[in-house]
Chains A and B, each alone.
Chain A
Amino acid sequence: MKGFTLTLSVVSLIATILIGVFISFVLGIMYSFHLYITKTLIIEKIYSYSNAQDALLSLLEMKKEGISFKQALIYSMYENTLEPKIYNGEKEIVYSLKDVAKEFLDYFYIYDDYWLFLYNTSTQKYETILASKNNPEKLFSDPKGSSRAQVPLSKDYYIVIYIKTTD
Chain B
Amino acid sequence: MKGYEEPTTTFIEILTIIIFTIFVLGSLLMVTKFRTDARLATTKRIMIDFGENVLSASCLTNEKNVLNETKIRSEFEYYNSHKNDKDGFSCLETSIPIKTIIQTKDTKWEFGNAIGKKFFPIFIFPAVLLKDDGSTVPATIEIMIEAD
Task: Tell me the A residues contacting B by CB distance below 8 Å.
Answer: 2-3, 5-6, 9-10, 12-13, 16-17, 19-20, 23-24, 27, 30-31, 34, 37-38, 42-43, 46-47, 50-51, 54-55, 57-59, 61-63, 66, 103-104, 107-108
Q: Mask for B46-58, Cβ within 8 A of A = 1, else 0?
A: 0010001001000
Bound Cα distance A129, B34 (Å): 45
Contact of A108 among B41, B55, B138 (CB under 8 A): B138
For B126, what are the chain A residues with a Cβ–Cβ distance below 8 Å? Answer: 51, 54-55, 58, 108
Q: Is B45 an interface residue (CB 8 A)?
A: yes
B9 touches A62 (CB 8 A): no
For B123, what are the chain A residues with a Cβ–Cβ distance below 8 Å? Answer: 47
Shortest B60–chain A CB gap in Å is: 14
For A59, what are the chain B residues with a Cβ–Cβ distance below 8 Å? Answer: 128
Q: Mask for B21-52, Cβ within 8 A of A = 1, else 0?
A: 01100110011001001101100110010001
For A6, what are the chain B residues with a Cβ–Cβ distance below 8 Å? Answer: 5, 8-9, 12
**Total residues of chain B contacting the partner, CB 8 A:** 43
Bound Cα distance A24, B29 (Å): 11
A13 touches B140 (CB 8 A): no
A27 touches B12 (CB 8 A): no
B23 touches A20 (CB 8 A): yes
Query: Closest A-chain residue to B138, C-beta based?
Result: A107
Bound Cα distance A96, B117 (Å): 43
B23 touches A57 (CB 8 A): no
Task: Tell me the B residues contacting A by CB distance below 8 Å.
Answer: 2, 5-6, 8-9, 12-13, 15-16, 19-20, 22-23, 26-27, 30-31, 34, 37-38, 40-41, 44-45, 48, 52, 55, 63-66, 105, 123-128, 134-136, 138, 140
Known A47-B48, A50-B48, A50-B52; judge A23-B38 contact (CB<8 A): no
Query: Closest B-chain residue to A31, C-beta based?
Result: B34
Bound Cα distance A54, B65 (Å): 7
Bound Cα distance A151, B5 (Å): 79
Contact of B66 among A34, A47, A61, A103 (CB under 8 A): A61
Shortest B137–chain A CB gap in Å is: 8
B138 touches A104 (CB 8 A): yes
Bound Cα distance A34, B136 (Å): 41
B38 touches A107 (CB 8 A): no
B30 touches A27 (CB 8 A): yes
A12 touches B134 (CB 8 A): no
Q: What are 7 residue pairs bridging A and B, where the CB atoms are less than 8 Å apart in the complex?
A: A13-B16, A16-B20, A16-B23, A38-B41, A42-B44, A107-B140, A108-B124
Shortest B44–chain A CB gap in Å is: 5
